[in-house]
A and B are shown apart, each in its own frame.
Chain A
Amino acid sequence: MSMSTQPLTPEIVSQEGNAMVLSMGPQHPSTHGVLQIMLEIEGESVVKAEPEIGYLHTGIEKTAEGLFWSQAQTVIERMDYLAPESNALCYALAVEKLLGVTDRIPPRAQVVRVMLAELTRIASHCVWLGTHGIDLGAISVFFYCFDLRENVLDLQEAAGGARMHPNYVRVGGLNGDLPDGFLDKLDAFIAKFPGRMRDLRGLLQANPIFQDRTIDVGFLSPEEAVQWNVTGPSLRGSGIAYDVRKAFPYCGYETYDFDIPTRAEGDAYARFLVRLDEMEQSHRIVVQTRERLKTPGAVLLDDPKIVAPPKETIALSMEALIHHFKIISEGFRVPPGDVYQPIESPRGELAYYVVSNGENRPYRVRTRPPSMYNLQALKGIAPGNLIADLVVMIGSLDPVFGEVDR
């Protein structure tokens, strides 16, 4: 059966010659969401793999065009639901760049943003590691990972008021300062992390079954990785140390001390090691932000045309009341222009290409979804491997379907 005929009917099984076409997913538990892969197989070997995406398409980019600049952030945050802070941060940075206020964002807000971005990276990698372990039959890793992730979500809840989508990072800074007692919780997390990381490594890193399943599986050469537009840990697992935090620093990443872990092997095990090392580097950055958080300061841009003034001032000042009313009822306007703002999300280079026509709504918000491009590489790396290893490859590319399909 030719797989390019339109429309492509997901027949469960059809045969032609020796090749068999098998539809894997979209309900398969190890496809990490709603991924369908049309497989052409010979025996147990994959001849061709064609991922079919779009099952979770929610039209976020279209929806965003109808919302105020600040409202659009709430839907955009829901793209990568495992790392919502990255989406919110990237969008906020893009809009700030268009507004020309990047240099005026208070330093404390930038520190909190970096802290949240790194915490969310740890949380996201926890989900990846837990589910990757489950895919390979290592159930207990999942519990350790989700326990650690729960700690991060508690911190997110304390900071922003919600576990999953706090909408805490805003255009112009943050929605309020960190609450009292937050730093104690952060200290507890910082203290707990290294021991838990040792546990996680102990469970999998030298585990012979895990190594058998991942070493030399899903090989991605540096040329292929670049050709397939793979970024993030998957690219660094192939030896190219490209990280947006180092190459195009934002939020003051150039002032933090951290390394970019890389591996030259290019297989699933290399990507596994890169992500584990990355979690430790994130912890290192969080520790540095902890020091800087001792300095109090403003967390929101002081510009009443962009940021609504504090609620308590509107009873005292006529101007504040007017500004508050204007911001709430018609949002703020952004000077016309276009901007491409990348950040390093847990999955790779996440970027928004934002076009403004001077109105109070975004004209176009184009996402560069790292998950989608990473997943697309499956077409290149799956052929020749066993079906059982496909699960390992999907896991090692770490796609999130909220972002792939948007």
Chain B
Amino acid sequence: MPSTQTPPLAGAAIDPPSLRPPIDDAVIERVEPETLRARLSALKAEGYSMLLDLGAVDYSERTPRFDVVYHLLKMPVTPSSVESVGKPARVRVLCGVNGPQPHVPSVMDLWRSADWAEREVFDLFGITFDGHADLRRIQMPYDWEGHPLRKDYPARGAARERSPRPSFANKSNVQAGTPASGRTLEALQEQVKRAREGKLP
């Protein structure tokens, strides 16, 4: 039986997408961050109405370090049958970004679905999307430090302190926290009794 196995490349492949012709249904394009918005707007105008997905890959040993990956689909925007949808065209746009503060323009105004996708890339890779209206962390807690899907972020780490309690604990009419230590059942019963008698302040 012929084997499909290939030996690993020396030093690991630095840019896998460039190493072989596309094997899926998408046309692959590589653009620079400066021309990204113009190219994506042009694709949108061509009828790529759906931004199927937006993700990123960290090629830590390469320059530029990150690839932001846009998957576009040419979808009709009116009710259509299986035949008229047919086999919609796909485009994959790869955009390399680099720098201590990697950033690309946001496409949230072109496709509203980019909102959460860009937030996720920002959260997990630390790539900023200029012009995003609400760029907050989405998966990790708000006070998290670091961007977990970067290759230099360890998959395991030291135990971390818990996130601060949400502030609504203070809004409750029940006192937050457990009773002070040393308070016995008798003391609590006494408190209840006094409360019933209206003696408690």
Contacts and interface: CB of A to CB of B under 8 A. Distances in A.
Nearest to B12: A357
Interface string B2-35: 0111111100111011011001111000000000
B1 interface: yes
A247 B4 contact: no
B97 interface: no
Given A228-B113, A359-B8, A98 B23 contact: yes
A336 B13 contact: yes
A69 interface: no
B82 interface: yes
A349 B87 contact: no
Give chain A's interface residue range (CB within 8 Å of chain B): 35 or more
B5 A333 contact: yes
Contact of B81 (A59, A241, A248, A359): A241
Q: DSSP class of B's interface residues: helix, strand, loop or mixed?
A: loop
A11 B87 contact: no
Contact of B79 (A23, A264, A405): A264
Given A337-B16, A355-B16, A6 B82 contact: no
A89 interface: no
Contacts of B4: 99-101, 303, 305-306, 335
Interface string B168-198: 1001000000000000000000000000000
A141 B72 CA distance: 39
B116 A9 contact: no
A281 interface: no
A240 interface: yes
Contacts of B141: 54
B200 interface: no
Contacts of A363: 16, 57
A151 B24 CA distance: 36
A118 to B, nearest CB: 18
Nearest to B49: A226
B37 interface: no
A173 B90 CA distance: 27
Interface string B71-114: 10001111111101111101010000000000000000001110
B56 to A, nearest CB: 8
Interface-centre pick from B14, B116, B124, B137 (highest chain A CB count, 10 A): B116
A61 B156 CA distance: 14
A376 B79 contact: no
B50 interface: yes
A54 B140 contact: yes
Contact of B24 (A13, A303, A341, A358): A341
Contact of B82 (A260, A339, A340, A358): A260
Nearest to B9: A358
Contact of B71 (A6, A53, A353): A353
B6 A335 contact: yes
Given A12-B168, A349-B52, A376-B113, A246 B82 contact: yes
Given A366-B55, A373-B113, A376-B115, A333 B6 contact: yes
Interface of A: 4, 6-13, 23, 53-54, 57, 59, 61-63, 65-66, 97-101, 222-223, 226-229, 238-243, 246-248, 260, 262, 264, 302-306, 332-333, 335-341, 349, 351, 353, 355-359, 363-364, 366, 368, 372-373, 376, 379-380, 405-406
20 contacts: A53-B116, A54-B137, A54-B141, A57-B139, A222-B77, A223-B77, A229-B51, A239-B80, A240-B85, A242-B75, A303-B4, A338-B17, A340-B25, A340-B71, A340-B90, A357-B14, A366-B57, A368-B53, A368-B55, A376-B115
